Chains A and B, each alone.
Chain A
Amino acid sequence: MPIKRFLPLFIFAGIFVAFMIGLNLNPREVPSALIDRPAPEFSLPPLEGAGIGLSRADLADGDNIVVVNFFASWCGPCRVEHPALEQLGQLDGVRLHGIAYKDRPSHSLSFLKSLGNPYDKIGTDLKGRTAIDWGVTGTPETFILKDGVIRYQHIGPIHPTEMDARILPVIRQLQQERAS
């Protein structure tokens, strides 16, 4: 039967196509399971000398798009993305909050003192449990929320190109949603 003999070729053709597409994918990017779901319940203590802590209530902001950034003083890429965070913090209609992940409060404090504090509010997640509730696997990770619902997750530092290509468009789109 001729069809049987062509079977290996067809199967291989399928695998070939899959590989061609796969060359363009990044197997290490894992999309969040929390997209379009409300932020998990949490209430984190403050960083000494820098505010009143952070809880889920702070994220339900009717006027602003909320950005939550997980960071740590021991995290190199967090330093790299700091200018992007400052830019975000100063945008109109955007509130930027930070969560210090598994870090000694004194270290987080000196990190912020030396680079500048771009965050509106900061919570300290000493054990990393809140991060796990957010599906975080490392730092830095940044989430964009509207009305307390997670709409976008960015894994890794925010490079300037990504700022323009991804982050800002998402924020603008969410702001337009609100307007309409």
Chain B
Amino acid sequence: MIAELGHYMLVLALGLALVQAVLPLVGAARSDQRMMMMGQPAAYGQFLFSLLAFLALTYSYVVSDFSVRVVASNSHSLKPMLYKISGVWGNHEGSLLLWVMFLALFGAMVARFGRNLPTTLRARVLGVQALIGIGFYLFMLLTSNPFERLADVPFEGNGLNPLLQDPGLAFHPPFLYLGYVGLSVAFSFAIAALIEGRVDPAWARWVRPWTLLAWVCLTIGIVLGSWWAYYELGWGGWWGWDPVENASFMPWLVATALLHSAIVVEKRDTLKSWTVLLAIIAFSFCLLGTFIVRSGIITSVHAFATDPERGLFILIFLALVIGGSFLLFALRADRLQAGGLFAPISRESGLVINNLFLSVAAAVVLYGTLHPLLSDEVFGIKSSVGAPFFNLVFGLLMIPLVMTMGLGVHFKWKRADIKGVSQRLMAVVGLSLLAAVMTLYVSHGGGVMPAVWMGIGLWLLFSTLQELGQRIKLFRGPLADSLRRLKRQPRSSWGMSLGHLGFAIGLIGIVATSSWSEEEQKVMQIGDSMTIDSYQLTLNDVVPAAGPNYSAVRGIVTVTGASGESYMAYPETRSYISSPMTTTEGAVRTSLSGDLFIVIGESEGAGRWGMRVYHKPMQVWLWIGSTIMVLGGLISLSDRRYRIGSPEGRKQAGGKRKSGKPLHAH
């Protein structure tokens, strides 16, 4: 009954989306106020019904209603409640419902907080949002209905993949989808601007917070996924350049470019058509990612069920949305008049160069992901493009990008004070070179590239700190003065500094863990020891263990460090009831200098066990850096200047929303 209601709600939501799409867009074309105003109630209604549909599906999971097909395939009565709920979006159909509910939510938010947007603009934005929603509703109702019933109701569900029963992974999809949907708002604004033939600074002031929100959510989503992979998968890998990982990374790269480009549009009224194009491209990458994951066109660990029929539907949808947008851009972009002037070396040009490198990086990742497919089709040659390629090419692209980042923050708008900047940065450059050389020395000449990357990571760190210090006149007056200045810095500049600092810290962590990780393996008996780096591990015992829906083998290991301090570690291998798979729960001990990652493997018979241990230097810097980046984004979002009726970010799925106070647009 609830499932049928949910199904009906979905159909109603589609109906309202149709209203929300047709009336405002037609109304805007005809300057018909009443038609345009229909956008808001339609948006609220669409959100209400899609939310009800989502809740209906959630209910089915919570009560383990196995007569609903997706619940039977993906859930199990013994699963802890948190994972029953996260199971709602852990499969193809449910994740689409989450997508569309978020889409409707953001549409409603634009309707609610966009009351002082020009009417035609708001109408068009809502209309385009609804058009996207229609595609998703149709896709679900025609090919991927989450409310389908089974004729024969099984007693028990097939259970979710035990790998997915994890807090990190439970929230990874919602954050990613929030990011994708946030970018859909930027997209809708871009299309609306093209239709109107105008981009003024107010447009950018609206697009920026949405893009920032989307970027923050995307960052959280990607990092959650990466962090999960790190501690769950058993060998400390956190990024594999897998096609589906790339599918979330490409939007992130473009969103970062968009974020920076929108700043130029807002502050200097230039770079308009490029920014509009970026907004379209960013969302296109989100849709592309959807296609890649759900169509089976590219092999991947993450892929949902491969189904060419669904793939065809999504592809046609892609063609309409992306092709249509690019066509519109080609035809209308000339209407967007360029504005402000700036010198060749200025903050503007720095941001343009930043955009260049980010775009090329996104293009490289795109082509690398598609090359196997293209090679097969065009040449009939099966080709692989894996981590070695991406690490090399992307890593090289990072060098000029990060160098520009370090320089750009020092440049003023319109014209940079080149002499002043170069004088100030002498010390930083020197320090970075020194760091690079020291890295070479400390790693015993272990490769030039790690030293180079370490150097530029530290360059960014020092340069960003230097810029901040410059702004608060650190060391050039009483400390209290500087602290006062620090507190009075606008939040958006806090955001910039923290964002870049976080990136630098993350980068340093990535360099360390990618270049200097160690691994040791040994078959051990109880009482045996092995060493890695400066640690000694002793296997004390191996005992059985159990959880709510799994049984496990647990190792008891004593780890002793160089200075004599020791701790106990309990790596496990788990077998889940509802699935033939085993998972490893590695014992991870984190410290700033590195992680020690202990894994117990299979029994080699007669009380002997395969043990593996990994040492990952500075791994946690990656997580800390990403968190600082996210923090910077959130602080920036809370800046009053951006709250022209736009809400502060939804910080987590289900979190409370603070209402934004509408300011006069100025």
Contacts and interface: CB of A to CB of B under 8 A. Distances in A.
Interface of A: 2, 5-6, 8-9, 12-13, 15-16, 18-25, 27-28, 30-31
Contact of B298 (A2, A8, A27, A30): A27
Given A9-B327, A18-B374, A28-B299, A23 B322 contact: no
B299 to A, nearest CB: 5
A16 B323 contact: yes
Contacts of B281: 8
Contact of A5 (B315, B319, B333): B333
B364 interface: no
A31 to B, nearest CB: 7
A23 B319 contact: no
Contacts of B308: 23-24
B20 interface: no
Contacts of A30: 382
B351 to A, nearest CB: 20
Contact of B315 (A19, A25, A28): A19
B284 interface: yes
A22 B382 contact: no
A12 B377 contact: no
Contact of B329 (A5, A15, A20): A5
B330 interface: yes
A161 to B, nearest CB: 18
Interface string B364-397: 0000001011101100101000000000000000
B606 to A, nearest CB: 19
Contacts of B382: 30-31
Contacts of B318: 16, 19
B291 A19 contact: yes
Give the interface SS of chain B, mostly helix, strand, loop or mixed: helix
Contact of A8 (B299, B329, B373): B329
B323 A13 contact: yes
A93 B183 CA distance: 64
B123 interface: no
Interface residues of B, number: 33
Contacts of A6: 330
For A18, A24, A30, which residue has the most chain B Cβ atoms within 10 angstroms? A18
B32 interface: no
Given A19-B291, A27-B373, A8 B326 contact: yes
Given A18-B373, A19-B291, A27-B372, A12 B284 contact: yes
A16 B295 CA distance: 13
B437 interface: no
A22 to B, nearest CB: 5
Given A13-B323, A19-B295, 4 more contacts: A16-B318, A22-B298, A22-B377, A27-B298
A30 B308 CA distance: 19
Contacts, number: 67
A24 B315 CA distance: 13
A178 B374 CA distance: 37
Nearest to B377: A21
Interface in B310-364: 311-312, 315, 318-319, 322-323, 326-327, 329-330, 333-334
B275 to A, nearest CB: 14
Contact of B319 (A2, A16, A22, A25): A16
B322 A12 contact: yes
Given A5-B330, A6-B330, A12-B284, A18 B299 contact: no
B297 interface: yes
A12 B319 CA distance: 8
Contacts of B370: 15, 18
A27 B319 contact: no
Nearest to A33: B382
A50 to B, nearest CB: 29
A39 to B, nearest CB: 21
Pairs A-B, 5 closest by C-beta atoms: A9-B326, A6-B330, A8-B326, A5-B330, A27-B299
B178 interface: no
A22 B376 CA distance: 9
A134 B329 CA distance: 53
Interface in B256-299: 273, 277, 280-281, 284, 291, 295-299
Nearest to B312: A23
Contacts of B277: 8
Contacts of B372: 27
Contacts of B319: 16
A101 B377 CA distance: 32
Contacts of B299: 27-28
A23 B295 contact: yes
Contact of B323 (A2, A12, A25): A12
B323 A9 contact: yes
B330 A9 contact: yes
A18 B377 CA distance: 8
Contact of A25 (B329, B333, B376): B376
A23 B291 CA distance: 11
Nearest to B323: A12
B377 A25 contact: yes
B248 to A, nearest CB: 18
Contacts of A23: 295, 297, 308, 311-312, 315
B387 to A, nearest CB: 18
A22 B297 contact: yes
Contacts of A27: 296-299, 372-373, 376
Nearest to A10: B326
A6 B318 CA distance: 17
Nearest to B291: A19
A90 B297 CA distance: 39
Contacts of A8: 277, 280-281, 326, 329-330
A16 B315 contact: yes
A134 to B, nearest CB: 17
A22 B315 CA distance: 11
A153 to B, nearest CB: 13
A19 B333 CA distance: 27
A110 to B, nearest CB: 23
Nearest to B327: A9
Nearest to B324: A9
Nearest to A15: B370
Contacts of B323: 9, 12-13, 16
A35 to B, nearest CB: 12
Nearest to A19: B315
A130 to B, nearest CB: 23
Nearest to A17: B377
Contacts of B329: 5, 8-9
Contacts of B295: 19, 23
A25 B311 CA distance: 12
A88 to B, nearest CB: 27
A22 B373 contact: yes
Contacts of B373: 18-19, 22, 25, 27
A13 B297 CA distance: 17
A95 B472 CA distance: 86
Nearest to A29: B382
A5 B328 CA distance: 10
Contacts of A2: 330
Contacts of B296: 27
A112 to B, nearest CB: 27
A31 B330 CA distance: 41
For A23, A24, A31, which residue has the most chain B Cβ atoms within 10 angstroms? A23
Contacts of A5: 273, 329-330, 333-334
